[in-house]
């Protein structure tokens, strides 16, 4: 629906179309210079940023292997009936893993051979192994079976007993994040500096974009730029924070569940994870600009509040399709982006109606009154 005034958008402006392009070029150069300065600052803080970026992945891997450790204890069965049980109770395992941050690997050893290593002098009182460990004869190199009593080879599976090898989860190599080339670490450092620079420079970049937009607005509408600017920056940072501090945990837990389901242990690379970190938060930040984009299109007469209200079903479908494109192939990140965008869409619709009514346009008042009567 056209604007109440038939005045052309640029009629009151003294700038020609070419001058508007020149203004765009100047604003883009300023934004690029600001981004460059922010990236240089990012190089000084990139190392802690890399550690900060690693934290969600380390946390998800730690949770994954904590659950796998308890599952290993619950599903372990001796090789034969009546074989030796695990040397810990389930309560001890849960306490060590969940409360003390420990992890373990289940191994099996020959107790008599391990006794020789731990107690070469043959002092049974100093032995760390049970006194009834099966001996091996020196002449034949065999030992009686713990179940049948018949001689068996020293390296037979029947003579093995379970042992848990403990270590802090933070030092577990399965939780570490790997690089596969010497230059990969430098690339990670540069990407972390770029991510830091984008976040630090976002207020300046949005300021330049809104300055360009203000050049094409009516004089009485330019005051909205100073209201939109802090809201725009706040929405961008809110989207980045939502992705980094909330969405990542759900996405990683969901993806690692497939590894567990397929019986595959993950070995993530930091470069692949960083690529994911760069795309998702920035996508969230840009997506959260939806209310301001809606209001801007309403102000220049491309759409109006009545059109937004009538086409909300199509808008929801478009939001879900775009969210599926911008996020990985998992339902959590899609829903965490699509649902806030749907709420922001209806928030943008409310803002458009409020602005039209606040300006005192008869058309704006009529739309608000019509909606209230419905």
pLDDT tens-digit readout, 93-102 = 888 888 888 8
Size (the chain), residues: 374
- pLDDT, residue 137, reads 43
Q: CA torsion angle for 351, 352, 357, 358 (degrees, to 10)?
A: 60
The token pair that represents 124 in the structure block: 């049974």
Percent of the chain's residues with pLDDT above 90: 5
Instruction: Give the span between the Cα atoms of 271 and 279, in whole angstroms.
Output: 13
- The pLDDT of residue 368: 41
Cβ(55)–Cβ(244) below 8 Å: no
Higher pLDDT, 44 or 210: 44
Among residues of the chain, what percentage have pLDDT more than 70?
78
* pLDDT-derived band at 276, boundaries 50, 70, 90: confident
Write down the mean pLDDT value for the chain.
76
Higher pLDDT, 159 or 150: 159
Would you state the pLDDT for residue 135? 46
* 44-55 pLDDT, tens digit each: 988 888 888 888
More confident call, 272 vs 306: 306
What are the distances in angstroms from CA 105 to CA 24, 162, 358? 61, 10, 67
The residue behind tokens 């069965």 is 77
Q: What pLDDT is stored for residue 221 in this prediction? A: 64
Q: What is the pLDDT of residue 40?
A: 94
Local structure of 195: helix, strand or coil: helix
pLDDT given at position 36: 92
Under 8 Å between Cβ of 112 and 142: no
pLDDT band at 75; cut points 50, 70, 90 = confident
Mean pLDDT of 125-138: 46
Sorting pLDDT into bands at 50, 70 and 90, what band is 144?
low
Task: State the virtual CA torsion across 289, 290, 294, 295 in degrees, nearest 10.
Answer: -40
Least-confidence region, from 139-153, 240-254, 288-302, 349-363:
139-153
Residue 34 pLDDT: 92
**Pairing assessment for the beta strands 102-109 and 142-144 based on DSSP bridges:** unpaired
What is this structure's pTM? Answer: 0.64
Nearest C-alpha neighbor of 4 from the set 360, 288, 251:
360
pLDDT at 3: 47
pLDDT band, residue 41 (cuts 50/70/90) = very high
């Amino acid at each position: 629906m056209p604007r109440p005034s038939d005045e052309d958008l640029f009629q009151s402006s003294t700038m020609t179309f070419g001058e508007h392009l020149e203004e765009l070029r100047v604003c883009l150069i300023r934004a690029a210079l600001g981004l460059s300065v922010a990236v240089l600052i990012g190089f000084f803080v990139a190392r802690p940023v890399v550690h900060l970026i690693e934290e969600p992945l380390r946390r998800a891997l730690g949770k994954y292997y904590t659950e796998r450790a308890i599952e290993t204890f619950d599903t372990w069965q001796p090789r034969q009936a009546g074989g030796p049980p695990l040397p810990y109770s389930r309560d001890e395992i849960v306490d060590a893993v969940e409360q003390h941050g420990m992890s373990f690997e289940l191994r099996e050893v020959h107790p008599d051979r391990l006794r020789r290593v731990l107690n070469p002098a043959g002092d049974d009182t100093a032995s760390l192994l049970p006194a009834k460990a099966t001996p091996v004869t020196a002449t034949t190199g065999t030992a009686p079976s713990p179940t049948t009593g018949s001689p068996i080879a020293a390296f037979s599976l029947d003579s093995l007993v379970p042992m848990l090898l403990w270590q802090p989860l933070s030092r577990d190599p399965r939780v570490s994040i790997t690089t596969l080339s010497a230059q990969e670490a430098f690339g990670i450092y540069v990407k972390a500096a770029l991510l830091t620079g984008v976040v630090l420079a976002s207020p300046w970049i949005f300021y330049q974009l809104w300055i360009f937009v203000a050049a094409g607005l009516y004089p009485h509408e330019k005051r909205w730029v100073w209201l939109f600017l802090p809201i725009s920056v706040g929405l961008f940072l809110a989207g980045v924070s939502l992705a980094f501090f909330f969405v990542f945990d759900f996405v990683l837990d969901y993806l690692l569940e497939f590894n567990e389901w397929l019986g595959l242990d993950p070995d993530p690379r930091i470069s692949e994870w960083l690529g994911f970190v760069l795309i998702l938060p920035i996508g969230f930040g840009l997506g959260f600009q939806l209310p301001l984009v809606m209001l801007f299109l309403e102000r220049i007469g491309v759409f109006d509040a009545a059109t937004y209200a009538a086409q909300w079903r199509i808008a929801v479908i478009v939001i879900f399709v775009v969210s599926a494109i911008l996020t990985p192939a998992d339902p959590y990140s899609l829903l965490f982006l699509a649902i806030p965008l749907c709420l922001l869409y209806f928030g943008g619709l409310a803002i458009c109606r409020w602005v039209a009514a606040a300006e005192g346009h008869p058309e704006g008042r009529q739309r608000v009154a019509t909606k209230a009567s419905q």
